[in-house]
A = this chain, B = another copy of it.
Amino acid sequence: MVGIVDVAKKANVSTATVSRVLTKPETVRGTTMEKVLKAIEALNYQPNLLARQLRRLETKTILVVVPDITNPFFSKVLRGIEAVAVAKGYQVLLGDTGNDVEREKGYLNILQQKKADGMVLLTARMDAAAVEEVARSFPVVLACEYIEGSRIPTVSIDNISGARKATEYLIDLGHERIGCITGPLDIVLSRDRLKGFYQAMARKNLIVDPVLVQEGDFSFDSGFNLMMKFFALGQLPTAIFAASDDMAMGVIKAIKSKGLKVPEDISVLGFDNLKFSSIFEPGLTTIAQPAFEIGENAMELLMKLINKEEVKREQIILADQLVVRESVRTI
């Protein structure tokens, strides 16, 4: 492999000069510049970034930890992150945890081992203390998720108000017996959506039937199964708020499988606004999260941390939006 010394030799200059041509061209004379460039060209020299990084103590790489890259919501956030990263000359190291807390923890080491300059976490199921610890010494930002009582910079929507808005929409259309299928309750974000649901019900003085609140795991299957459970229990609500579009679709499938119709018999409202939610029939009424923008903002925030710029707001809350389609109707 050709190294900087080969180029230096060929161009009859020192390695320092070659290095300067590459990194501070304004400090070398035009004629030597040409000589060096010619040598680089001739040898097809590419600097070894490992060496540069070791010397500069920076990798121009950031780590993104995702619970499941297969989930279109996360992949869209990831794309937002990537877009900004590339624009700023950074590369993205991918850490898919497969929803496994242990693997999630493992990725924390990558920062300490200096393989990345910073990290964006799209999941934070591990113990808060460990994350805090790492965040004290390295740039870390949370996207989507947040950690209660922590000052780690975060980008997300307001899940409580989003869920509240969704539930109020159902109530305003006349629904009173409303079911809620939540995400895994060990995740703050799931608890927030549930909280928003309760808040809306309480504000309108409606009673929540505990049977109608069930814990899912955001997946289509869990939505399907929990709806089937409602059928089995003989406890049918007039509307259901599902904490993810995937689950909402599962719920609708279950309803259809029983020969009932959405929204005629039961209304269903989702959360996320996946691309597929508009293709699905009936079109899902849902709370839209600006996934791409969440990614962009998270990466921009991370850049500021890396560059030690002042960060005014540590918690960025982006706007969510109720998207009305056909899966909900007035009672």
Q: Which A residues contact B (CB, under 8 angstroms)? A: 46-51, 53-54, 59, 61, 64, 69-70, 72, 75-76, 78-79, 82-83, 86, 91-96, 98, 103, 109-110, 112-115, 220, 249, 253, 275-276, 279-281
The answer to whether A50 and B48 touch across the interface, beta carbons within 8 angstroms, is no
The answer to whether B54 and A113 touch across the interface, beta carbons within 8 angstroms, is no
Residues of chain B contacted by A76 (CB below 8 angstroms): 70
**Can you list 11 contacts pairing A with B, beta carbon distance less than 8 Å?**
A49-B115, A61-B93, A70-B79, A72-B75, A91-B93, A91-B94, A91-B95, A91-B110, A91-B115, A92-B93, A93-B94
This protein's copies in its complex: 2
Instruction: List 9 additional contacts besides A49-B115, A78-B94, A91-B93; criterion CB under 8 Å.
Output: A50-B53, A50-B54, A54-B54, A61-B115, A69-B69, A69-B75, A69-B82, A86-B103, A91-B115
* Known A93-B94, A94-B94: A113·B75 in contact at CB below 8 Å: no
* Known A93-B91, A279-B249: A75·B79 in contact at CB below 8 Å: no
The answer to whether A115 and B50 touch across the interface, beta carbons within 8 angstroms, is yes
Chain B nearest Cβ from A93, distance in angstroms: 6
* CA gap between A110 and B59 in the complex, in Å: 13
Q: Smallest CB-CB separation from A60: which chain B residue? A: B115
Q: Which 8 A-B pairs have the closest CB atoms?
A: A46-B112, A49-B113, A94-B94, A50-B54, A92-B94, A48-B114, A70-B75, A69-B75
Residues of chain B contacted by A276 (CB below 8 angstroms): 276
Residues of chain B contacted by A75 (CB below 8 angstroms): 69-70, 72, 75
Residue among A69, A79, A93, A253 with most chain B CB within 10 A? A69
Chain B nearest Cβ from A234, distance in angstroms: 26
* CA gap between A96 and B93 in the complex, in Å: 11
The answer to whether B82 and A96 touch across the interface, beta carbons within 8 angstroms, is yes
Residue among A70, A86, A93, A103 with most chain B CB within 10 A? A70
* CA gap between A96 and B90 in the complex, in Å: 13
Residues of chain B contacted by A112 (CB below 8 angstroms): 46
Residues of chain B contacted by A69 (CB below 8 angstroms): 69, 75, 78-79, 82
The answer to whether B46 and A109 touch across the interface, beta carbons within 8 angstroms, is yes
* CA gap between A83 and B70 in the complex, in Å: 13
Q: Smallest CB-CB separation from A220: which chain B residue? A: B279
Partner of A94, one of B54, B59, B82, B110: B82
Residues of chain B contacted by A280 (CB below 8 angstroms): 279-280
Residues of chain B contacted by A78 (CB below 8 angstroms): 69, 94
Partner of A281, one of B47, B220, B281: B281
